[in-house]
Structure 1
Amino acid sequence: MANGWTVAETVTDEAFDIVAKDPLEGEWRTFQCKTIRRRADRGGDLVVYAKRGNGTIYDRADADYIIGVWAEDGEMPRVFYFENRMLGEYWCAEARASERWVELSITLNRAAHEGVA
């Protein structure tokens, strides 16, 4: 919402967590939210495990995008999203996260909300 997206939560049992309207294209997209974890055994790379509780992956009918939320040691959380490519895991080096994934600021962009009653 801080970036101008219109966000809605589902009230029915859906595979996705939220549906949001892209502020630039005006299209509704579905998102599955996951936690980003750091893997010490992978040189500190960041990983998003994008599987259901039963171990199956999300296909494109389940979610258009995956959102990863990374919060470490009381720091301000960082939020990234990327296209659902129907993988069980998405990896990225911390130094390249903002290049490979779209980072969303969680600071309110007041300009995106001007004129909203």
Structure 2
Amino acid sequence: MSNIAHQTEITGKYSELAARLALLANGWTVHTSETAEAYDVLATEPLTGRHVKIQVKTVRRRSDRERGDGVADLVVYAKKGNGTTYDLSEADYIVGVWAVDGEVPRVFMFENRCLSEYWCSEAKASERWVELSIALNRNLDEPEPEVATLALVA
């Protein structure tokens, strides 16, 4: 019998590691905290050198938001354990990791707007959110366009 709390913890850790991998692959410097913090990841933007706080969440399908084609929208629930949203002192960005069994995870990043959930259709996800590849970008002098766009928006 599976322990649901244990599975939730594994999924959360997996999402955080995928987020860190995607950030590193795109030239971000990822920092590790020695103490528990409100954010999951502290990272340095590759273009500006600005330190940002990132909250990592798992992307899910929202069954009550199906489109005409029967496919449910993607949603990132961005609430803390006490049910409140993350304010800007706790997270500059939200990273959503969409991990489908047996597939390479997709990592999406967007500004924290202090909402309890962020959603969009699967077809629009890479347009509405910045998708970070987990493939290594060794040409760090010329970051991927998505990273440059995100850094300029912030």
- TM-score tier, shorter chain, comes to over 0.9
Q: Give the deviation of 1:39 after TM superposition.
A: 1.5
Shift >4 Å, 4+ stretches: none
Q: Which amino acid aligns with 1:65?
A: Y
Q: Which amino acid aligns with 2:78?
A: A
Instruction: Give the corresponding residue for 1:23.
Output: 46
Structure 2 residues not aligned, in runs of 5+: 1-23, 67-71, 142-154
Counterpart CA distance in 1 for 2:60 and 2:122 is 11
Does the 8 Å contact 1:10/1:17 carry over to 2? no
Q: Give the deviation of 1:107 after TM superposition.
A: 0.5
Q: Aligned match of 2:81 in 48, 53, 66? A: 53
Task: Say which structure is richer in strand.
Answer: 1
Counterpart CA distance in 1 for 2:63 and 2:116 is 19
* 2:49 is aligned with 1:9: no
Q: Give the deviation of 1:110 after TM superposition.
A: 1.5
Does the 8 Å contact 1:7/1:18 carry over to 2? yes
How many pairs does the alignment contain? 113
Q: Which amino acid aligns with 1:112?
A: L
Identity %: 65
Matches within 5 A, 1:73-84: 73-84=101-112
Q: Aligned match of 1:35 in 50, 58, 61? A: 58
SS at match of 1:99: helix
Instruction: Give the corresponding residue for 1:85.
Output: 113
SS at match of 1:98: helix
Instruction: Give the corresponding residue for 1:97.
Output: 125
Q: Which amino acid aligns with 1:68?
A: G
Q: Give the deviation of 1:73 after TM superposition.
A: 2.7
Instruction: Give the corresponding residue for 1:67.
Output: 95
Structure 1 residues not aligned, in runs of 5+: none
Task: Say which structure is richer in helix.
Answer: 2
Alignment TM-score, normalising by the size of structure 1: 0.92
Taking only aligned residues, the RMSD between alpha carbons, in angstroms, comes to: 1.1
